[in-house]
Amino acid sequence: MNENNRSNMKATRYAIAYNKILKMIKDGLYPEGSKLPTEPLLAEQLGISRSTLRQALALLQEDGILEARKGIGNFVRKTLNVDNVGIERMENPFYKSCIDPIDNVGIKMGIEVTSEHTERIFNRKIPVVLAIYRYYKEKDLIKGSCFSHVATDFDHIHSIDLNNQNEVLDFLENKIYDFGLSSMLEIKIVPTTENIKEANQGNPSKYYQMIIESISDNRGNVIAYNKYYIPFERAIFKVFRKN
């Protein structure tokens, strides 16, 4: 089991500051070799305390992104590949776990009345939840799938047009990882069931790698529960059963 946890508030502040500074560097606001603003000014710009800023700067220095020059300030290191660095990033695990290129994602969605199952998933009662299938395709061939339960009681969901499938898909594939502050992943190998077979039409695999992903917000509430299914032969990370 792998946990990517940002729910601790102290960690959250310096992690967010880290990512904001890194984004400014990526966006070219502070190019290679340039000097960052003074600590008091940068802390004011980011709306954080000096101690929180120092934690973020220390991590940026440890990761080789910044160079601290005593008595002068913090400088962006040269020959830096910022695409390979970051802190506590979250992103869709399917693309890193399947060897097949994906050029299209289909979606089918509906609304379910809450049940004992969804109450256990979300650890609270929600009148209705979104039930969403995603189908990961290459040239119209399904290479894997995902079944999601999404909570309907958090603020951001109300900004999405649930009648617009492209908007819902973009939220699930991308924006939810900006909105969520922690994720937990669990990887299992499961035999093919009728439900898996139906969702992954045309795939003869007898076993699937199942990735269970639980995404929580900054209050610790689970907002999405995803189950990704990748044919075992097409999975990058292999998990073998004990005999």
Q: Where are the beta strands (DSSP E) in the chain?
A: 2-4, 66-69, 73-76, 104-113, 128-138, 141-151, 182-191, 207-216, 222-231
Which of 3.30.1490.100, 3.40.50.9100, 3.40.1410.10, 3.40.50.300 is the CATH number of 94-234? 3.40.1410.10
- The CA distance from 209 to 231, in Å, is 6
Q: What is the pLDDT of residue 83?
A: 54
pLDDT in tens, 146-195: 999 999 998 888 889 999 999 999 999 998 988 887 888 889 899 998 88
- The CA distance from 205 to 31, in Å, is 49
2-84 is a CATH 1.10.10.10 domain = yes
pLDDT in tens, 106-128: 999 999 888 888 888 899 999 99
pLDDT in tens, 52-105: 899 889 888 877 788 889 889 999 987 555 555 554 567 899 998 999 999 999
Question: In the structure, what pLDDT confidence band is assigned to residue 6 with cuts at 50, 70 and 90?
Answer: very low
Q: What is the pLDDT of residue 241?
A: 46
- The CA distance from 135 to 132, in Å, is 10
pLDDT at 7 over 60: no
Helix pair 9-26, 50-62: axis angle to 10 deg = 60
Extract the tokens encoding 159. Answer: 């900004």
Q: What is the pLDDT of residue 206?
A: 93
Q: What is the pLDDT of residue 232?
A: 93
Select the more confidently predicted residue: 27 or 232.
232
- Residues 12-39: what's their mean pLDDT? 85
pLDDT in tens, 203-238: 889 999 999 999 998 788 899 999 999 999 999 865
Please report, for the chain, the start and end positions of each structural domain, with discontinuous segments joined by +: 2-84, 94-234
pLDDT at 5 over 50: no
